[in-house]
């Protein structure tokens, strides 16, 4: 009986090994790669032009840093200078009309509030990006917290 089971297992392995893979009827399609085969380099799309309308967009996910609603071409942003702070520093925001840098950018790792931007928050473009009028690469159904409504049974009644 054991010999029969061993023979059956060996037969199944042999049949599986000799079977040809099936080719799908439709070509492989990836939302980011398109129809480019996996062994070829996809041609990247053209970079969308930067919006320069100074319109603040809604966030695409929770905890998303705000996007930059204007062009920053030619801005010096290195260890020697930060052009963003010319308008967005809390001391200059009132006169420039720009959104001031968040208070969180003035705290260090220990939670101590500093008089100047924290070194770990100094390079703005490591979190913030310019806006472009481009089609999203993937679908997004994110709903920001103020737009989320609780079911009627869970809402609290104010007295």
* Token code pair at residue 37: 């085969």
Instruction: Indicate the SS3 state at residue 30.
Output: strand
Q: What are phi and psi of 50, to 5 degrees?
A: -75, 135
What residues contact 107, with CB distance under 8 A and at least 6 apart? 113, 114, 118
Domain at 44-133: CATH architecture: Orthogonal Bundle (1.10)
pTM score of the predicted model: 0.62
**What is the chain's mean pLDDT, rounded?**
83
End-to-end CA distance of the chain: 80
Was 70 annotated as part of a binding site?
yes
pLDDT value of position 83: 95
The answer to whether the annotation marks 85 as part of a ligand binding site is no
Phi, psi of 81 (to 5 degrees): -155, 150
Instruction: Consult the annotation and say whether 29 binds a ligand.
Output: no
Question: ∠96-102-63 over CA atoms, to 5°?
Answer: 125
**Annotated binding residue at 88?**
yes
Q: What is the pLDDT of residue 107?
A: 92
Q: Is 127 annotated as a binding residue?
A: yes
| Domain-wise residue ranges, the chain | 44-133
Residue 156 has pLDDT above 60, yes or no: no
Question: In whole angstroms, what is the distance from residue 118 CA to residue 115 CA?
Answer: 9
8 annotated as a binding-site residue: no
pLDDT at 52 exceeding the cut of 60:
yes
Query: How high is the pLDDT of residue 7?
Result: 79
């Amino acid at each position: 009986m054991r010999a029969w089971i061993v023979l059956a297992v060996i037969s199944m392995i042999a049949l599986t090994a000799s079977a040809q893979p099936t080719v799908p009827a439709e070509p492989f399609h990836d939302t980011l790669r398109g129809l480019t085969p996996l062994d070829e380099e996809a041609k990247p799309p053209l970079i969308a032009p930067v919006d320069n309308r100074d319109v603040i967009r809604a966030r695409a996910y929770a905890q998303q840093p705000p996007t930059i609603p204007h062009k920053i071409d030619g801005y010096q942003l290195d260890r020697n200078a930060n052009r963003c702070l010319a308008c967005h520093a809390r001391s200059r925001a009132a006169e420039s009309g720009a959104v001031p840098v968040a208070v969180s950018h003035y705290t260090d790792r220990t939670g101590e509030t500093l008089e100047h931007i924290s070194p770990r928050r100094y390079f703005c473009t490591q979190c913030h990006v310019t806006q472009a009028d481009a089609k999203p690469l993937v679908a997004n159904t994110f709903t920001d917290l103020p737009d989320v409504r609780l079911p009627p049974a869970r809402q609290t009644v104010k007295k």
